[in-house]
Each structure stands twice: as structure tokens, then as C-alpha cells.
Amino acid sequence: MTKWLLIAGALVLFVFGFIFLRGPVPHIAIAAEELFKVGPVSVTNTMFTSWVTVILLLGIVFFATRKTWTLVPSGFQNFLEAIIEGFYNVVAGVAGDTNARRFFPIVATIFFFITVSNWFSLTPVFNMWGGAIESDHGVVVEKATIGSLDVRYVPFSQPGELSAETIEEDDPEAHEKAEHAREEGKDVVELIPLFRGINTDLNTPLAIAIMSFIAVETWGIRSLGFFTYANKFINFSSPIAFFVGFLELISELVRLVSFTFRLFGNMFAGEVVILMFTFLTPLLVTLPFYGLELFVGVIQAFIFAMLTLVFAVMAVSHHGDEEHGPIEEHGEHAPPQHAVSEPAH
């Protein structure tokens, strides 16, 4: 009986949301929307969201480390230390202890920043409209006065009209339709979200990819020396060596593109799926996709961080040393884990 009641309740929520709670068709744009300007600099919603994400991370760190003087950590500090220690062990297992201490700050920063920003973008405040700009295209909204306050609102959808009226930007009659709506006492506005997932803006994954690239190349040069490291890419000893080095150089540069579009593509696609299902079925059906995006968000962060780590290990290794495992700083192999004992007398 309980099972059938749950199924009936789910169907009621589905039908009610589909008929009465559908809002305007979501505006999906690859470029981030501009919120305001500071002089000649445009501040977009993804830029604003990245500032909030950094503040959130600093708040988490401050809250977790405010009692570091205690000998036995507890509560949230213990939980956070366990996560960081576990991730450090993963890094050490790939790079070795000495290199792990060098690589961990950058690799961990990439992992935790991407994870938090991806999960933060699943909160209800994201992709909700933070401002409305009057325009000849966008959503047709009602106007009302509450006391001395003028408000605009989108009415509930109806069985005959399952979404709010919109005017497309490429409609040749957009201006005439907008004027007609204003004559009826309505308004036409372009709705801009205040918060948007930062990794759905191509600039953010590109910036993280550039930081990863610079870190890897710096570690390689410091470990092997500039000329030894450059010899991996520019080698005139033979035509084959020159060709192989050229391919190595191309692969290093292509890494920027692959890192950027892997993260951007997955996050942007996930956001589009959630937006469309929120529009089609505002209740119930969207929840499984939030669970899926929680998983995708941390997996994409882990892939980005681990690829950075693997390329860092390759960068600090001499040619032909990869099969012997990662080398430690200054190109020396890690000490063996066992020692041969002398025969007993």
C-alpha cells in the first residue's frame, strides 16, 4: 500500500509541476552574462561566482583550522584532515614522497577548487535570475505595484500555456511584439542569473589549465635543468629525434585544449540538462540529475588533478626513467625500500 501511495504522490507532483510551475524557457548561452562594469572591466556572473567560491573555501579552511593547537583534532577539523591526508596518500602513491611534497599544493588546489565550485553550482541560488534588463527580446512579464514598490513577475503556467511568453532575439518582429506587450501594460526583460557555475564559462577551465601547464613545465625545468628539459622537445641529434621532439611539443600544447574542453564540456552539458528538466518537470524528475552531477563534479576534478600529477611525474623524469618509477628532486632515484643485511658471524 505504501509503495502505491508513493507512486501516486510522485505522479501528482509530476503533473502539478508540469502544468502549473513551468517558468520561462531557460536562456542558454555559452558566454557568461555581464552583471556590471568597474571602469573598462566587465564583471560577469561567473567572475562574481568565482569570488564567492574563493570566500567559501577560505571560510571552510578558517572554520576547520581555528583550533589547530589541540593535540587531538575532532569534529569538522578531523573530517577535513582525513580527506586531505587521504588525497595526499593518493598523490604520494603516484609521485613518491619527495615529489608528493612538491606537487601536492598545486594538485590539491586544483582538485578542491574544482570540486567545491562544481558542487556549489548545484545549490538552488544558481541560475536564478538576479537582474532584469529591459529589452525588445526576452520574457514577457506582468507588472504590479505593492505599496510603493513596483514589481515584475512571471505568472503561473496554465494547461493551455505551458510556459511564459518569450520573444526570441532573432525574431524579425521582436520590436513590434515588445511594443505590443508594453501597450498591454506588460514589460519585456532579459533575465540574467547572478550566480552561474564557473566551469561553464570557458575562461575558467582555460585559466586552470594554464596554471597546470605552467606548474608542470616549471617542475620539469627545476628538476632537470633548462637545457636538459628543452632537449625533450628540441633535439637535432637525428631527424627521428627532431620529429619525436616536435610531437612532444605539440602534445604539451594540445594538453591545454584537452584539459579545458573536457572540464568545460562536462559541466556545461550538465547545467543544460538540469535547466531543461527544471523547465519541463520542475518537481521530482530533476532530482536524479542532481545526484548524477554530484558524481560528475568530483570525478572531473579528480581527473584534472590526476592528469596534472601524471604529467608532472613525466616532466621530472629523464628519458627512459619512466619504467623505473618516479625520480626524486634533482633527478636522483628514490632510495630502495629494502636493504641487504650482512651475514651473521
| Cα separation values, 156 from 21, 22, 24, 286, Å | 6, 7, 10, 19
The CA angle 318-323-329, to the nearest 5 degrees, is: 40
pLDDT by residue for the chain (345 residues), tens only, comes to: 788 887 787 777 777 666 666 666 666 778 888 888 888 888 888 999 999 999 999 998 888 887 766 667 677 888 888 899 999 999 999 998 889 999 999 999 999 999 999 999 888 888 766 666 767 777 777 777 777 777 766 666 656 565 667 777 777 888 788 887 788 778 777 777 888 899 999 999 999 999 999 999 999 999 999 888 888 888 888 889 889 888 988 988 999 999 999 999 999 998 888 887 777 777 777 788 888 899 999 999 999 999 999 999 999 886 545 444 444 444 444 444 444 344 444
pLDDT for res 331 = 42
In one-letter notation, the amino acid at residue 12 is V
Conformation bin of residue 327: beta by default, left when phi > 0, alpha when psi is -120 to 50 = beta
pLDDT of residue 18: 65
Q: Cβ distance 192 to 35 under 8 Å?
A: yes
- Name 161's bridge partners: 158
The residue ranges of every structural domain in the chain are 35-124+197-331, 129-193
Q: Burial of 206 by CB count in 10 Å (0-12 exposed, 13-18 middle, 19+ buried)? A: middle
pLDDT score at 65: 81
Cβ pair 112, 57 in contact under 8 A: yes
CA-to-CA distance for 200 and 270, rounded, in angstroms?
A: 9
Task: Please name which of 24, 21, 280, 45 lies closest in space to residue 168, comparing C-alpha atoms.
Answer: 24
CB atoms closer than 10 angstroms to residue 73: 16
Binning the chain into helix, strand and coil, the percentages to the nearest 5 are: 60, 15, 30
Task: Give the span between the Cα atoms of 126 and 276, in whole angstroms.
Answer: 14
Distance CA 195, CA 120 (A): 10
Phi and psi at residue 139, to the nearest 5°: -100, 135
Residue 29's pLDDT is what?
A: 79
- The count of C-alpha atoms lying within 13 angstroms of the C-alpha of 321, restricted to the half-sphere facing its C-beta, is 16
- In 185-238, where does DSSP find H-type helix? 203-224, 226-230
Position 343 scores a pLDDT of 42
Question: How many Cβ atoms are within 10 Å of 120's Cβ, its own excluded?
Answer: 19
Alpha carbon distance 213, 204 (integer Å): 14
DSSP state of 96: -
